[in-house]
Amino acid sequence: MAKQIQAIRGMKDILPRQTPLWQFLEDRVRSVLDRYGYAEIRIPVVEMTELFKRSIGEVTDIVEKEMYTFADRNGDSLTLRPEGTAGCVRAGLENGLIFNQTQRLWYQGPMFRHERPQQGRYRQFHQVGVETFGLAGPDIDLELILITARIWRELGLQGLELQLNTLGTAEERGHYRDRLVSYFQSRIDALDDDSRRRLEGNPLRILDSKNPDMAAVVGEAPTLMAHLGEASLQHFEQLRQGLDAARVSYVLNPRLVRGLDYYSRTVFEWVTGSLGAQGTVCAGGRYDGLVEQLGGKPTTAVGFAIGLERVIAMLESSDVTERLSRPDVYLVMLGEAAAREGMQLAERLRDALPALRLVCHCGGGGFKNQLKKADKSRARYALILGEDELVRNEIGFKPLRGEGEQQQLRMAHLQERLAQAIVRVNDD
Ligand code: HAM
């Protein structure tokens, strides 16, 4: 036998038993974004490498070591998108969506980063991203956070913590950066190799160090908050007041600096303790300088992206999966006449009850055998249609999950009974 070819490390198949959960997640997120007036944009998976270098930053982990970059047949350097913000800005500029306008956009799809795969971290992963343009005030920052909070609520997710920080404007950060560099230089012996390397290109990232030996030197570092001007402080304060008024709780995390260079002012992450080391399920912030950096007129912007694999992992540990993938009813049909009539009945029920999840038994067989299949399907109810029922214009209605005895229903009452029985996620 020929040797089988394996999938690429860190790139996963999403199998039929998992897709109902993905569809549920995607539908819910899409519905929330639609209700807030956000429009979908679809952007290519591959872009010019230069786009990511100029936006994410040359001295970031993503650009330095994680991009899937290759030469096109005509020699252009292309990269599989590691994230969606850069492409969204590029598309917005190229199609005249940004200048002198406000936009509320979202996108969805696979992203690629050559990271070390582990639980919750993959080389191909999926994001839903949201980007807004031309809105300068903290009200839109608040709206984005309210959207994410609503998404968690509508998915039934609990235990997510909102972490918040502000990075100030590029200018304020520049001053702070100089202060930080001199501080770290004065403590150079306490820095690990990674941090020494970052001292040159990206000293703020040192604050994000996960190395416990670095905790003291990082803890005593000057804070950015002390270097912010009046306007940045006010922006942040207003956002915090808005969150308080909306009763969205958060923790201030002055260490939150993000791994991409384009941020200014507000940054936030939603973090869970339930997924181990890869606990950030959503991250975003303001990036007022990026549009100009990519060749447009100065335009304010703010957005976020949700890591779908991580949300799926949270949903998997709730009972949503179980409820999503099981049919409401399994139709058992005994004898030829019942089989014929049953298929038509099923079609009528599907017309009348679009939310009904109904599986018809196929392949004949006796009562015991069919009921076994019904049970295996994990349906909540079996409908039983035999010769007797046909004659009496009735149908057997049998709970399969220990919710009472079998009843004989008048055919005319079936639809109403099923409508009551359809239980959807979050309805019960
Ligand atoms: P990011 O923090 O690089 O931000 O990624 C956003 C989210 O994508 C992360 O919080 C995580 O849930 C998920 N994610 C990232 N890398 C992986 C991976 N290797 N495997 C699984 N999930 C992953 C951005 O991408 C920005 N573009 C977000 C943004 C939009 N900021 C403003 N607008």
44 touches 349 (CB < 8 A): no
Rounded to an integer, what distance in angstroms lies between the CA atom of residue 248 and that of residue 149?
A: 8
Instruction: Say whether pLDDT at 425 is over 70.
Output: no
Instruction: Say whether pLDDT at 324 is over 80.
Output: no
Which residues in 301-312 are b (16+ Cβ under 10 Å) and which e? Answer: bbbbbbbbbbbb
113 — pLDDT class (breaks 50, 70, 90): very high
The pLDDT of residue 169 is: 94
428 — pLDDT class (breaks 50, 70, 90): very low
Rounded to an integer, what distance in angstroms lies between the CA atom of residue 3 and that of residue 357?
A: 40
Q: Is the CB of 79 under 6 A from ligand 1?
A: no
Instruction: Say whether pLDDT at 246 is over 90.
Output: yes
Residue 272 sits at φ, ψ, to 5 deg, of: -120, 150
The pLDDT of residue 87 is: 98
Instruction: Say whether pLDDT at 172 is over 90.
Output: yes
The pLDDT of residue 323 is: 72
Looking from the CA of residue 283, the nearest atom of ligand 1 is 10
How many CB atoms sit inside 10 A of residue 232's CB?
22
Q: Is the CB of 121 under 6 A from ligand 1?
A: yes
| Among the listed residues 255, 190, 179, 171, the one whose alpha carbon sits nearest the alpha carbon of residue 222 | 179
Report CA(349)–ligand 1 centroid distance (Å). 43
Write the pLDDT tens digit of every residue in 266-306: 999 999 998 888 899 999 999 999 999 999 999 999 999 99
Question: Between β-strands 394-399 and 407-410, what pairing exists: parallel, antiparallel or unpaired?
Answer: antiparallel
Write the pLDDT tens digit of every residue in 133-144: 999 999 999 999
Looking from the CA of residue 287, the nearest atom of ligand 1 is 32
Q: Is the CB of 83 under 6 A from ligand 1?
A: yes
45 touches 81 (CB < 8 A): yes
Indicate which residue's Cα is closest to atom 23 of ligand 1. 307
Rounded to an integer, what distance in angstroms lies between the CA atom of residue 231 and that of residue 233?
A: 5
Residue 70 identity (one-letter amino acid): F
The pLDDT of residue 396 is: 97
Rounded to an integer, what distance in angstroms lies between the CA atom of residue 51 and that of residue 110?
A: 18
The pLDDT of residue 80 is: 98
Cα torsion angle, 163, 169, 172, 174, sign: positive
Asked which of 63-67, 147-151, 193-197 is least confident by mean pLDDT, the reply is 193-197
303 touches 260 (CB < 8 A): no
426 — pLDDT class (breaks 50, 70, 90): very low
By most ligand atoms within 8 Å of CB, the mutation choice from 38, 83, 135, 147 for ligand 1 is 83
What predicted TM-score, i.e. pTM, was given to this entire model?
A: 0.84
Write the pLDDT tens digit of every residue in 6-35: 999 999 999 998 998 999 999 999 999 999
Looking from the CA of residue 131, the nearest atom of ligand 1 is 33
Asked which of 16-30, 96-110, 188-202, 302-316 is least confident by mean pLDDT, the reply is 188-202
What average pLDDT does the chain have? 94
Q: Is the CB of 141 under 6 A from ligand 1?
A: no
27 touches 233 (CB < 8 A): no
Looking from the CA of residue 62, the nearest atom of ligand 1 is 3
Instruction: Say whether pLDDT at 242 is over 60.
Output: yes
What percent of the chain is predicted at pLDDT more than 70? 99
Instruction: Say whether pLDDT at 424 is over 60.
Output: no
Q: What is the mean pLDDT of residues 113-141?
A: 97
Write the pLDDT tens digit of every residue in 361-418: 999 999 999 999 999 999 999 999 999 999 999 999 999 988 789 999 999 999 999 9
62 — pLDDT class (breaks 50, 70, 90): very high
Report which of residues 134 and 425 the model is more confident about: 134
Cα torsion angle, 22, 27, 33, 36, sign: negative
